[in-house]
Amino acid sequence: MSEPISNHLAGLAATCFLGISTAHAALAPLTTAGGATGRATLHPAWRLSGLPNDKAPLSKFEAITLGGESVVALRTQASYGVLTHVWQGPAPEFLSWRWRLAQPLATADIKTKAGDDAALKVCVMLDQPLADIPFLQRSVLALARSVSGQNLPSATLCYLWDSRYPAGTTGPNPYSARVRFMVLNGSESATGQWVTQRRNIAEDFSLLFGQESPTLPPVTAVAVGADGDNTQGSSLGYVAQLRWLP
């Protein structure tokens, strides 16, 4: 891709601002009980989007039962997809979830444009004041918003399960510094096992964006994603119990 914004920003544009959720309300669960069939389905508050102009197939997000628990299975096959939940207001202290990687992306490299794929990511979009953003990045963001016709998020914090780099690796997305990543489970993490994460959003924002903004901006949305479009790879992972904690 040669766009001046990241795949992640571009994909979020389709759903990030379609609705408004109440500040301080709980996140809607990822899955909800089905009707007459009793099968779980994706909760309608979570909206699926892909890349603009269908530049890649959609990754597959499916509500399934695994070990007696309703979870979301995320499958990529040279594809891109993100589930976005609009949630606007001050962030509670913690964001918590469980995830499990079954099949990693063999050649992904989150530090390069050619390898910018992730089998599992949980992201928080934030309304960072434009005045805090460096001039060049602010100009690129303004252009991207104008071209896309969407109010693209000014700051996005993405937590990754990555198979190349170790846990604790951080950095800017290679397409846009308005998206910054933090590897929570990395090359040392075994696949096929559930891992619980509990993140202090204010502390992580301070680590990745603190040189720009001294305080945590309001949240605009939360997202779960999986993509293998740049490396043409395939992956499988699971996410469950995504929620705010006080």
What average pLDDT does this structure show over 158-167?
Answer: 98
pLDDT band at 150 (very low <50, low <70, confident <90, very high): confident
Residue-wise pLDDT for 182-229, tens only, equals 999 999 999 999 999 999 999 999 999 999 999 999 999 999 999 999
Which phi and psi angles does 29 have, rounded to 5°? -60, 155
Whether the pLDDT of residue 235 is over 50: the answer is: yes
Sign for the CA dihedral angle at 226, 30, 182, 125 comes to positive
pLDDT band at 36 (very low <50, low <70, confident <90, very high): low
Task: Work out the pLDDT band at 79, boundaries 50, 70, 90.
Answer: very high
What are the structural domain ranges in the chain? 7-22+41-245
Note the pLDDT of residue 34.
64
Among 31, 37, 87, 36, smallest CA distance to 61 is for 31
C-alpha atoms less than 13 angstroms from C-alpha of 176 in its C-beta half-sphere? 28
pLDDT > 70 fraction of the chain, expressed in percent and rounded: 88
Q: What is the pTM of this model?
A: 0.90
Asked if 191 contacts 98 with a C-beta cutoff of 8 angstroms, the reply is no
pLDDT tens per residue, range 5-34: 555 555 555 444 444 444 457 899 999 976
Distance CA 71, CA 65 (A): 6
Angle (CA) 186 191 197, round 5°: 60
d(CA 193, CA 245) in angstroms, rounded, equals 23
Per-residue pLDDT for 52 more than 70? yes
Under 8 Å between Cβ of 24 and 218? no
Higher pLDDT, 241 or 17: 241
Judge whether residue 38 has pLDDT over 90. no
What SS3 class is residue 22?
Answer: coil
CA angle 230, 112, 97 (to 5 degrees): 75
Q: What is the mean pLDDT of the chain?
A: 90
DSSP β-bridge partners for residue 99: 195, 239
The domain 7-22+41-245 is classified under which CATH number: 1.20.1050, 2.160.20, 2.60.40, 2.60.120? Answer: 2.60.120
